Homo-oligomer: A and B are copies of this chain.
């Protein structure tokens, strides 16, 4: 039997009624003859409520104890979902991250998966059980409970799919797939049928929240197709994230239309320096999602606010590195597509359209699969629409 891994996010499990609907969907998939591993997030606002309690107790909780606390959220979901599947006459068993063999680094609240040893999952699948797994958590090599950071349940799902050799991994959420721009920002954004892992990773890195970046990276390395689908639509077609060259769109790119989507980051720090460049680069190199150009004579870098623990402290620390270090607030708009950086024609077209719309850009970054513009925070929406009109719709 073919093995599917399905992941349901917190909004798909917001209350017991929604949890029952997820159970229906799982049982229906089972009835189509699949072996099934189901990864769940914490129900609705559980994580926020637990976090609120922690902050009531102490301003800055220890990350180790926070992991102990937050990891219970997924355990509640998995036990209840397993019970709901029993009630439908199917055999199910819930397993914690640790019981699934999700081995992580020791970095609390932001651990990365190092290894997956899914022996227990395989045993239960062989017995014909539907396996329900607590997402977002693992156990470190020191046997400590760890959590994987934002979007971590996606990563759990893909890592298990890879380790188990699953046919595919389906990520269910409130949205019905990946759009060619954020629909809250670009009103005529359209759902994409398909895109490559590289493109999805660039989108995640540049502001799209629909799939977690590490999850897509795992899927790429394992060559697993990822389906982003809606929980609420019975036959949601959704979007497929596939290895490069899998589909006809590769041909589109050959014909000269490399850009598939626009993404945006509404708030970030924009850092420039001409002296102390080495110190500034070292101070920001830990931020994976930074867009930066570091040379000996100049640094220019954009850091998304959402990835910063303490913006005020970081700003002060950067300014203290030298009198010429400038730190200000900016947004970022990006155009993503396989080979986007290798066609200057599209960069030129976008720059011209932005100029016509009277939208100033602070700087343009050209990457292999992505073009990014640093703009004023107030201009993010307008710039995203202009670039979508110019490079995606046309």
Q: Pick the contact of A83: B57, B87, B94 (CB < 8 A).
A: B57
A79 and B66 in contact (CB under 8 A), knowing A16-B53, A53-B16, A99-B143?
yes
A56 at the interface (CB under 8 A from B): yes
User: How far, in Å, is A96 (CB) from chain B's closest CB?
Assistant: 8
* B57/A80 in contact, CB under 8 A: yes
* A68/B75 in contact, CB under 8 A: yes
| Nearest 4 A/B pairs, CB to CB | A69-B79, A72-B72, A58-B87, A68-B79
B residues less than 8 Å from A56 (CB atoms):
16
User: How far, in Å, is A13 (CB) from chain B's closest CB?
Assistant: 12
A247 at the interface (CB under 8 A from B): no
List 17 A-B residue pairs with CB atoms under 8 Å apart, sorted by A's residue number.
A16-B56, A20-B57, A54-B83, A57-B80, A58-B83, A58-B84, A62-B83, A64-B93, A66-B79, A66-B83, A68-B75, A68-B82, A68-B96, A69-B79, A69-B83, A72-B75, A99-B143
B residues less than 8 Å from A78 (CB atoms):
68
A324 at the interface (CB under 8 A from B): no
B residues less than 8 Å from A166 (CB atoms):
none
A69 and B75 in contact (CB under 8 A), knowing A64-B93, A93-B64?
yes
Digit string of A57-97 for contact with B (CB within 8 Å is 1, else 0)? 11101101110110110011011101110110000011010
A86 and B65 in contact (CB under 8 A), knowing A57-B20, A76-B50?
yes
Closest B-chain residue to A71, C-beta based?
B75
B residues less than 8 Å from A68 (CB atoms):
75, 78-79, 82, 94, 96
Closest B-chain residue to A50, C-beta based?
B76
User: How far, in Å, is A127 (CB) from chain B's closest CB?
Assistant: 14
* A65/B82 in contact, CB under 8 A: yes
Q: Taking the full assembly, how many copies of this chain does it contain?
A: 2
* A80/B86 in contact, CB under 8 A: no
A160 at the interface (CB under 8 A from B): no
A131 at the interface (CB under 8 A from B): no
B residues less than 8 Å from A383 (CB atoms):
none
A58 and B75 in contact (CB under 8 A), knowing A80-B69, A93-B64, A99-B143?
no
Residues of A participating in the B interface, judged by any CB pair closer than 8 Å:
16, 19-20, 50, 53-54, 56-59, 61-62, 64-66, 68-69, 71-72, 75-76, 78-80, 82-84, 86-87, 93-94, 96, 99, 143, 145
Closest B-chain residue to A54, C-beta based?
B83
B residues less than 8 Å from A54 (CB atoms):
79-80, 83
Closest B-chain residue to A93, C-beta based?
B64
Q: How far is the CA of A61 from the CA of B66 in the complex (A)?
A: 29
User: How far, in Å, is A85 (CB) from chain B's closest CB?
Assistant: 9
User: How far, in Å, is A31 (CB) from chain B's closest CB?
Assistant: 19
B residues less than 8 Å from A66 (CB atoms):
79, 83
Q: How far is the CA of A71 from the CA of B93 in the complex (A)?
A: 16
B residues less than 8 Å from A72 (CB atoms):
72, 75-76
* B19/A57 in contact, CB under 8 A: yes
* B80/A53 in contact, CB under 8 A: yes
B residues less than 8 Å from A99 (CB atoms):
143
